Structure 1
Amino acid sequence: MEYINSCKEEINLRLEKIKQEITPLIDSYVTFFNIEKVFSSENGGKTRLNRQLFNENHEIIVQKILEINDVFEEMLDLIKTNIKSILSEFKEFDKVDFINLIFDDKNFLEILELDLNNEVIPREKKREVVREIIALFTLKNRIFNFKYYLSMIDTTIFDKHINKFGVEELINSSIIFEVIDSYGLQYKELEKFQLEIDYLTPKIEKIQSFQFLNSLLELHKRRCDNFFYANTRYKISIEYNNDLEFRKPMLFNISYLENIISCFIEQSCMDLVKQELKKGKIQKFIDINIQKIKGRIVITVKNNGFEIKNIFSLFSSDVDNKFVLEAKNLADSMNALLEIYSVENEGMVYSISFKA
């Protein structure tokens, strides 16, 4: 496992660098909750939202996110190089394109094992190759999981929203406090990121219900209300039902579960945009349900968007399938069942389920 140990050492060094970059992010976010700075007064005495403060801190946050993302990309390049080195001696894989590492891990491993069976090498060597690739895929998925948090703390959506405010919105106290609350929901994701970055191996936590998802779902609700694609705003409504409680505590990888649900929501947004581009203006909604069905806990994300008839096409190695592939790889690592299907004239359903 020489490749793996060396790779982990390099990644851990870079994670230490990222930990130092989180403090400036926190400082910028904290500014959003400083009431003395958030409000400014006009000559007429009216108090209004200090838009300049939000714009300036947004620029700092986005710049820091870009810098952190560059470090994560270095890690992925490192993983990519190690995968190529391990597979370079096998003719079927020496020319495989690993540009973005976006593919179905399980399918890749199945093909790898089949091809290794055709190679004249010792059985233990074959097993070692598979173990090393699995270990590198595990690292890859954790890095993508870290990158997911960057997308959740990116203030671009809310900054665009604020920049569209007219005079009336800027002095409307209910709108102002809703804005501050939205940044507060993002700040919770930043706190999660700060905790997660300490663990290259994700934590498994004991939970009694899925109530911890509420802040994330509320954040998505506000993000989707201001969803932008190709510089066009699409107002997407989200409703969620999260009342399920367990009879006994269950162990979950919370970070991966939240990542999967977020992938389903992002994919649903794209389905809805496609539907509107194809058929014209429509009411766009996403419905999230958490329930127990036949001894399994099932989380479904349903939308009334574009119906994808060829479900298998969603699992092909394509950047357009990023959200589905990311969700599938994480679900497989959790021994969960991921299902995708279309409902005729109703849209798409994305679900993940676990044994209760």
Structure 2
Amino acid sequence: MLYKSLISLYGSSLAGKSLPTEDLVWHFTPSEDLRLFRDYALDALQQAKVYLLDHLAAAYADTLHEAVAEEAAETGLPAMEILGEVKLPADIVWVEFDDRALGAARFNRASPVTRYDEKPIGTGLRGYLLDDRNQAHLRITMFHRRENSRVVDPICSLLVKRTAEGRLNYDDVVVDLSRSMVEYRLRSGDTLEMIHERRTVHQVETGYDLFIPYALFAMLVSPDLGGIIPTETETFTNKDTKTARKFGKSWILGARKSHLTIRIGPQAAAHMAERTARLEFERQARESRNGPIRHWVAEHERHYRSGKVVLVKGHHRGHARAPDLPTRVMGPRSDAVRFELSNTKPRTED
């Protein structure tokens, strides 16, 4: 669980107990900025209300994102505006899901975002830390641990400013760049252009999947929970707690002992099955247009530019209609059929 890894890593580094093999950033480019960020992040993680979405729950929230995105494209409104004002369940919230499994689910159901992908895109674990304690803005920090790699501090966070009325304005977002991570990347050999690309990618990924936590929050307050099933689950086991006490790991003792695991129920499963079938239908319609259905073509002459004239005998054309694909109907040209109305007035009987 990424949440547990971050608490263990940040706590041990701040206590001076981390190893270079476990925490390269801390030992390679130590700085006051890095210490301040980790001190803030550890405190926020310990206070956060924690949600862990299993792979099906994350995919379900993602299908809701696609549905809202379709409506947004039709109406011209931002997706977050269509979702409406959603309040966080606590001042600080952590939402985690499996990014690799989410990418595979998108690819397997032929999600529109994977139209040009040759394979699933997604790796490791992804977690959102949403901090709503500041009255001027909402701080969103996305952590991403890729497969077979260490935890690396995020290169930036997003600050969503509030309007005068106190509403979040997603058109007014400030990117808070991490100076410590810029220094780490420079010392690792990155150019400024490469760092800019990293920041852009992180910003885009943070913004795109931000809908998943908000969809979760909206479902949690809906009458039927939106088809999800939250279950309280132990985060740190009794063994973890005993070990923490024995070795003085106060950062683990100060964290929440449990979190909510989110799974889907029958209603959500039915929604996902229906949407998967519809996306597959649309994909087939795009990739293989069904030609004209089988019909009779009367005998006619075919005239070529060379002057050659060929008599084509009557024959059948087209193929049997596929029951699961839309049919392209071949009709006459718009100017081929004309309805001539007589100028003669209709007769009336005396």
Q: TM-score, normalised by structure 1?
A: 0.22
Q: TM-score, normalised by structure 2?
A: 0.22
Higher helix share: 1
Greater gyration radius = 2
